[in-house]
Amino acid sequence: MLPNKEGQQVPDVTFKTRKDDQWVDVSTADLFSGKTVVVFSLPGAYTPTCSSTHLPRFNELANTFKANGVDDVVCISVNDAFVMNEWGKAQEAENLTLIPDGNGKFSEGMGMLVDKSSLGFGKRSWRYSMLVKDGVVQKMFIEPERDGDPFEVSDADTMLQYVAPNVKAPLPVTIFTKAGCPFCARAKAMLNDAGLHYEEVLLSHGVTSRTLQAVAGAGTAPQVFVGGEKIGGSEALEAWLVKSGKRQAAVAA
């Protein structure tokens, strides 16, 4: 049975990371000492669930965690520093700290190193998340031990519910834009001012105005969607932000 380490100190490990093309040693003390940190660990960079759901949602909610007493959100995987850095770039995971547990020492110390040789992975981390305060594990969400890659309890929303039970997770925001469009720039500025994390879909040869017409019922950019609901262009977005209390109404001269 995989051990629950609640109430225990995290392992004393030095991670070999890369920054500005240089090797940089990062210790567990660097990551956790005097801090409140959310950690999620997963089987591998670029793998399906890790790339499509686990990491992206933690990236989306990182600022919400940080607004509710968390100093950092850390992803740990048994991969080398080069792989973790490139994965972070591909995922645009600018809100997270990605840590390579290349030799699996941290995962082993947590009791979470498992054998995935049947998949050609060798030793990897079991999927879990935890809240760590000043180096001591306060809470762990460990996926159930069964075949495959269960993903039921280590997700970002479950952790947010534990950290801040009265906080509602922000709805996902997507904005369709066109290069050089001033209205698109204004809409993005309003979203940034409101502190809303968004995914930008740039109209191109792959995603055209015809695509936008099919999706949004309008071929002009920008088009904003929040939680699957169409908001519309920049003026509609401004009205929605005012109504939502995320922006003050303009005062007529």
Pick left, alpha or beta for residue 109 (phi over 0 → left; psi -120 to 50 → alpha; otherwise beta). alpha
Active-site residue flag, 50: yes
Nearest 5°: the CA angle 102, 60, 181 is: 120
236 within 8 A of 224, measured Cβ to Cβ? yes
Quick one: DSSP state of residue 9? B
Alpha carbon of 33 to those of 6, 8, 187: distances in Å?
17, 14, 40
Angstrom distance (rounded) from CA 80 to CA 164: 33
For residue 125, give the nearest of 149, 104, 98 by alpha carbon.
104
Quick one: DSSP state of residue 115? E
For 159, the token pair is: 């952790």
3-state secondary structure 18-65: EECCEEEEEEHHHHHCCCEEEEEEECCCCCHHHHHHHHHHHHHHHHHH
> Would you please indicate which residues are annotated as catalytic (active-site) residues?
50
